[in-house]
Chain A
């Protein structure tokens, strides 16, 4: 298995009255070569679960394994096997786009020539070549996502963990990135993508896991999970909580 999460649990400020279970005994197996979608509502625990998988957040309980390596026992080896696009983080934004990707490569101990070559290729693929010398702090939100994605890819990892990779990215770049990721998965790489855009996940991924309230509600191939319906309808059925907004907000009509 490329990734296996066993009983992964995160409790924030345990033992206090503000104690909150963000991820609750999550079990998930991701096979090699899978393009896995992780879907859930806002605050379902997707980012917390992925942070525990990628070594950014220590689990309260449970195990996260990447290709059989325990992320929290042998974290350096596990981190070398992963490329991560975290959500809600910013990297060193006074560096230029090229510098940032180079920095990420060199930090992983790669040699300079390889890093320079790959940085060029990646900036081209992300359509950032013209802005390679501009400080990242002057980038738009979508460009930031793309340069951080490039920084996650530079060491050619076997597993990509991407938290909301398409947020704020323009449709053309998104299509390019999607193609790039699908090619990567066809070549045997594993991709985990979190999103709450169901259409995207249904079109792009071959596997999907539905998370709500920190628990796993369903997991498997997209066709297994959605059966005859669209993924969006399945998701709404699983998660529930639809309100009949139209009736309650009857005053919301232009006068």
Chain B
């Protein structure tokens, strides 16, 4: 290998420090980031024919929703007086802003494509990354939707020309505020989620709040009085908060109350400045301590083999213990456990007085628990390789998972059945409901055992937030899941028929008959599901493994 011709190096002097390129400029960085985001969005949407079909269906649904919502926004000035317009503008504007801000936290790593830490190795100016992230947020799905939404939002002021002009001028400010908050909280969440337990706790907390939001709002509304009144008082408060102030300014301008307008502008400016400062700090840490953000877990040590010491030393017992450990420790499972009591509360609040949905809380809880294991193999992800390598029999794999689910599932369903009958004062329906509950829980477990052995779909991977929408998940998967739910619902019919007959005729004998049918059919369905699912696992475990381990 001949040495390449190299010019003789001049003796280096102080001025002759090796010259290193300065890297791209701010504008070039922003341009790169935006085009990266555009390409990633396009690639995500057109990955495979199935995804394209899903995207088209999803887009149609989104378009329909937008049309309905836009129509509602546009028609507000025709229906409501000017105060009503103001209240609607503030509430919807604040809702949109909050949505943009918290979405990143709730969804874990919502939009990691332009995360700052990914660019830490490249010599990019921080202002360029900031600009690229802000502009990049516009490219994608949420960006254009929000832009259209903002325009429709501004048209609400069309009765007052001064307000309309102000609203149109403030529109970009609103957009920037939304994106600024989104990026700021994403960056903060990225740092916080580095402590895994903290991240998981936040996720579960949000789940609970999200579920309670509906009933809580209903309760608050009922307390304040009519819907209109409560809307006005909510709007009056919101109009002074960081998320709502901006949307009230057009009304101030139109009314000529300059002091109010100035005060609200002050709120907006302070908010923007605070968000920018916070974001800047978070961004700097992201860029400077990339490796430092690696997940650090709790120092808690498990003594001995934990639960694995307390189950029958058979493969199915071992798998049951492992499932139970995951039910407690993995937020993808424990999320379901947290949801169930909350769900019960929601049922209770929303059917206060009289026998409403609450009565069916028992079967519903059983149903939820059974459905939770219908994607078990996908949840295992590559871990399923251990089951394949050790040659576990299919039925033992299925049985272990079912037992692991039933250990919390039976008490929870039982409790829900009893509490529901207690609160609704309908003890006479308990036998019939128990029959349906048995079919929902045990029968559902059997059906889930078959589904998870045969029909897998992408789920959040181990260690990811349960809210993360997995890559490759489309509307088609939702349809498949709905079909699964339908089949599981169909299998409760044998006992449900008797319950309905009892509710119509009032004869308790039918309820007891329902219980007997449930007690006979449910174990049979469960055993059948474990047997059939086990046969399928035996026949195609390697194919199952390569399908689920390809999820990313």
Contact = CB atoms under 8 A, between A and B. Distances in A.
Interface of A: 54-58, 75-76, 78-80, 82, 84, 86, 88-96, 98-99, 102-104, 106-112, 115-116, 119, 132-135, 137-138, 151, 244, 246-247, 250, 253-255
Interface in B455-474: 462-463
B4 A247 contact: yes
Contact of A92 (B295, B380, B389): B380
Interface residues on B, range: 35 or more
B50 to A, nearest CB: 15
Contact of B385 (A86, A119, A138): A86
Interface stretch (B324-332, B440-448, B524-532): B324-332
A246 B319 CA distance: 55
A92 B322 contact: yes
A98 B305 contact: yes
A244 B2 CA distance: 10
Interface in B1-23: 1-2, 4, 6, 18-19
Contacts of B326: 92, 94
Contacts of B314: 106, 109
A98 B304 contact: yes
A91 B1 contact: no
A92 B386 contact: yes
Interface in B385-407: 385-393
B389 to A, nearest CB: 5
Contact of B462 (A94, A110, A132, A134): A94
B389 A94 contact: no
Nearest to A52: B542
Given A79-B390, A108-B391, A255-B18, 17 more contacts: A54-B389, A78-B391, A90-B462, A93-B383, A94-B326, A98-B302, A98-B304, A99-B306, A107-B315, A107-B318, A107-B386, A108-B390, A110-B313, A112-B309, A115-B313, A116-B305, A254-B18
Contacts of B4: 246-247, 250
B391 A55 contact: yes
Contacts of A104: 386, 390
A181 B140 CA distance: 53
B388 A55 contact: yes
Contacts of A108: 315, 390-391
Contacts of B313: 106, 110-112, 115
Contacts of A80: 391
A35 B322 CA distance: 35
B195 interface: no
B61 to A, nearest CB: 32
27 contacts: A55-B389, A57-B542, A57-B546, A79-B391, A84-B389, A86-B385, A88-B382, A92-B380, A92-B383, A93-B383, A94-B326, A94-B330, A95-B325, A99-B306, A102-B308, A103-B386, A104-B386, A106-B313, A107-B386, A108-B315, A111-B313, A112-B313, A133-B301, A138-B295, A138-B297, A246-B1, A255-B18
B379 to A, nearest CB: 10
A57 B388 CA distance: 10
Interface string B515-552: 00000000000000000000000000011011001000
Given A84-B389, A137-B297, A58 B382 contact: no
B462 A93 contact: yes
A75 B391 contact: yes
Interface of B: 1-2, 4, 6, 18-19, 295-297, 301-306, 308-309, 313-315, 317-319, 322, 325-326, 329-330, 380-383, 385-393, 462-463, 542-543, 545-546, 549
* Residue among B330, B385, B387 with max Cβ neighbours from chain A (10 Å): B385
B134 to A, nearest CB: 34
A56 B463 contact: no
Contact of A79 (B18, B309, B382, B389): B389
Contacts of A112: 309, 313
Nearest to A135: B297
Contacts of A138: 295-297
Nearest to B393: A76
Nearest to A76: B391
Contact of B1 (A56, A102, A244): A244
Given A95-B322, A112-B309, A255-B19, A106 B315 contact: yes
B387 A107 contact: yes
Contacts of B317: 106
A156 B37 CA distance: 51
A102 B305 contact: yes
Contact of A103 (B18, B318, B329, B546): B318
A94 B388 contact: no
Contact of A99 (B296, B308, B382, B392): B308
Contact of A91 (B295, B386, B393, B463): B386
A111 B314 CA distance: 8
The 9 closest A-B pairs by CB, nearest first: A133-B301, A79-B391, A106-B318, A250-B4, A107-B390, A96-B302, A89-B385, A112-B313, A138-B297
Contacts of B1: 244, 246-247
A99 B305 CA distance: 5
Nearest to A102: B305
Nearest to A109: B315
Contact of A89 (B322, B391, B463, B549): B549
Contacts of A135: 297, 302
Contacts of A107: 315, 318-319, 386-387, 390, 392
